[in-house]
Amino acid sequence: AQKITQTQPGMFVQEKEAVTLDCTYDTSDPSYGLFWYKQPSSGEMIFLIYQGSYDQQNATEGRYSLNFQKARKSANLVISASQLGDSAMYFCAMREPRSNYQLIWGAGTKLIIKP
C-alpha cells in the first residue's frame, strides 16, 4: 500500500500567488517525521522543511510552511508569494521510527510558475 500519496502530478500557478502542494501519508506509528524536498530541473534534491509528529506547531521556513493535519494524515506544503524559481518537482517523504532514518517517498508534484 502507498505510504506517501501526492495526488497532484502537475500544477500551474501564477507568479506571486500562494500554492499548496498536497501530501497524505499512512502510518500506524505515533512517532514519525515528514519532509519536503525540491528538485529543480538541474536535478539536485534540496531539503525544504521538516515536521515531527509530536511538534505542536506547524513548521515554517521562510516562504515555506507545512500545513500539518495529524487526524487527516496530511502534510501539505504551502509556498507563499510564488516565484519563477519555485518551478520544480516537489517530493514529500516520511520517516518512520526504527528505520535508521530511511525515507519513504511520494511520486512528486511538478510545479510550474507562470509569469
Partner 1 sequence: NAGVTQTPKFQVLKTGQSMTLQCAQDMNHNSMYWYRQDPGMGLRLIYYSASEGTTDKGEVPNGYNVSRLNKREFSLRLESAAPSQTSVYFCASLRGQGAGKTQYFGPGTRLLVL
Smallest gap from Cβ 14 to partner 1, in A, equals 26
> Which DSSP category does 30 fall into?
S
Q: How far apart, in whole angstroms, are the C-alpha atoms of residue 87 and residue 39?
A: 9
H/E element, 76: strand 74-79
The interface mask with partner 1, positions 3-42, x = CB under 8 A, is -x--------------------------x-x-x-x-----
Which three-class secondary structure state does DSSP give residue 85?
helix
The answer to the question of residue 94 lying near partner 1 (CB under 8 A) is: no
Which grid cell is 4?
Answer: 506517501
The answer to the question of residue 112 lying near partner 1 (CB under 8 A) is: no
Q: Which residues bind partner 1 (CB under 8 A)?
A: 4, 31, 33, 35, 37, 43-47, 50, 52, 54, 91, 93, 100-103, 105-108
